[in-house]
Homo-oligomer: A and B are copies of this chain.
């Protein structure tokens, strides 16, 4: 009788232990699969409000930088269309997709941060050196939201007009008229309306 009772409590304890182990394994898999699905879900990093305005992206300086074209005012009669350095970033999930496929997935967001020329002389030589942040532009590829746009890309600007430092970027932006951006992208961009020819990181990442 005593032995039976002992056996009974042992089997309850072992059942408890087994259940805890199963639970722990379930917990770990659950967390890992959630983390996995977050990065693989194909969820876009572009966020829109209810009226379809693109909300100013945050944290893009920790995205993947792809290149920095420079169109200084002093080489463009004082009026570069995009003054002056353009640091260009792609969201990390779309970058991963690009390294696997060589294509921009649905939901890709590419950000272009405009930076003034701060100086033209440094210990490393004559040249162009970055000054202040003065503008922020973005493009988003979305086959549902921008079904009618060429290649489903839409363009947005958060920059003050004219671009200048110490001015807050707009918190959200309406899509630009198609013709104002797409004409250049459509005619001259190397791959899928994106100027990959100026982005060595994307050129190198193409599988």
Contact = CB atoms under 8 A, between A and B. Distances in A.
A72 B184 contact: no
Interface stretch (A100-108, A115-123, A142-150, A153-161): A115-123
A1 B126 CA distance: 95
Interface stretch (A16-24, A37-45, A47-55, A172-180): A16-24
Interface in A169-195: 184, 187-188, 195
Contacts of A115: 200
Interface residues of A, number: 67
Contact of A81 (B12, B15, B24, B124): B124
A18 to B, nearest CB: 8
A10 interface: no
A130 B15 contact: no
Of listed A69, A92, A119, A125, residue having the most chain B CB within 10 A: A125
Contact of A204 (B27, B133, B187, B188): B133
Contacts of A199: 130
Contacts of A30: 24, 27-28
Interface in A73-132: 75-76, 80-82, 84-87, 89, 92, 95, 115, 118-119, 122-132
23 contacts: A15-B15, A15-B16, A20-B22, A20-B26, A24-B27, A27-B28, A27-B30, A28-B30, A62-B64, A62-B92, A65-B65, A67-B87, A68-B68, A69-B122, A75-B127, A80-B125, A84-B127, A118-B197, A123-B184, A123-B195, A130-B198, A130-B199, A132-B200
